[in-house]
């Protein structure tokens, strides 16, 4: 899979992809993440990618031309499954969208900024708008890193234990059951007996019950 992220603040995306699972996924050749600096596509001498809004009002608007040049260049090189725009008024990102996107071959993700992008970008160049939650970030970069992380970890071979993504919270409409590790007792706080019983069927049953209990208590909105 290849993910092209277009941003006017490329440095914001340096660290999420240069550590741990996302770094290893790239080293193993399972995913290629390419960050594109929008300023390189700016057509004026100050290399600006935003301008005042027609009709007035506070806040700058991202211009269509650099975005179009960048997206067109990428589209000339390969076919893309979606061109995503990160925006607080997009479709709410869920595990089910992460699953769907993880099957794609090539994705473009455009990070929004300022007061937004020229509407013609959304009308003509974007195929999907995604929000990571009902709050406003200062830009789409962190949101792009969030969706890229959720997608990449689902690609087969990225996680060392292949089954672990399948037992994640939300994957089956349930949130994950509690987990424990050594010591078996700390300050008098004990690990549940069943987990050290060695009885696999009982452990599975306990985990399912806890997951259902937790989902009902904490996330009654989930289909579970």
Residues near ligand ADE (CB under 6 A) are 86-88, 112, 131-133, 135-137, 140, 143
From the CB of 37, what's the least distance to ligand ADE, in Å?
A: 18
Query: Residue 37 has which token pair?
Result: 């600096």
Residue 167: how many other CB atoms lie within 10 Å: 14
User: Which one, 12 or 159, has the nearer CB to ligand ADE?
Assistant: 12
From the CB of 38, what's the least distance to ligand ADE, in Å?
A: 15
User: Which one, 142 or 176, has the nearer CB to ligand ADE?
Assistant: 142
CB distance 181 to 124 below 8 Å: no
CA distance 224 to 204: 17
Q: How many helices (H) and strands (E) does the chain have?
A: 6, 9
User: Which one, 88 or 224, has the nearer CB to ligand ADE?
Assistant: 88
Query: Residue 174 has which token pair?
Result: 């349930």
CB distance 197 to 184 below 8 Å: no
* Residue closest to ligand ADE when measured from CB atoms: 143
User: Which one, 59 or 192, has the nearer CB to ligand ADE?
Assistant: 59
């Amino acid at each position: 899979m290849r993910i092209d992220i277009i941003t006017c603040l490329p440095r914001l995306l340096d660290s999420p992809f240069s550590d741990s699972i996302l770094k290893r996924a790239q080293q193993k050749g399972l995913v290629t993440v390419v960050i594109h600096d929008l300023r390189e596509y700016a057509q004026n001498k100050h290399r600006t990618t935003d301008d005042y809004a027609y009709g007035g009002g506070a806040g700058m608007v991202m211009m269509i031309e650099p975005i179009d040049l960048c997206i067109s260049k990428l589209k000339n090189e390969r076919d893309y499954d979606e061109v995503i725009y990160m925006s607080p008024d997009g479709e709410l990102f869920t595990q089910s969208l992460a699953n769907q996107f993880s099957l794609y071959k090539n994705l473009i993700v455009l990070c929004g900024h300022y007061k937004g992008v020229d509407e013609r970008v959304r009308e003509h160049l974007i195929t999907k708008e995604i929000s990571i939650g009902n709050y406003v970030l200062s830009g789409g970069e962190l949101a792009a890193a969030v969706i890229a992380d959720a997608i990449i970890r689902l690609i087969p071979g990225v996680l060392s234990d292949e089954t672990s993504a399948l037992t994640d919270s939300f994957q089956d409409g349930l949130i994950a059951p509690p987990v424990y590790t050594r010591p078996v007792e700390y300050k008098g706080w004990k690990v549940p007996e069943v987990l050290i019983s060695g009885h696999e069927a009982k452990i599975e049953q306990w985990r399912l019950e806890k997951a259902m209990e937790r989902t009902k208590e904490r996330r009654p909105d989930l289909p579970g």
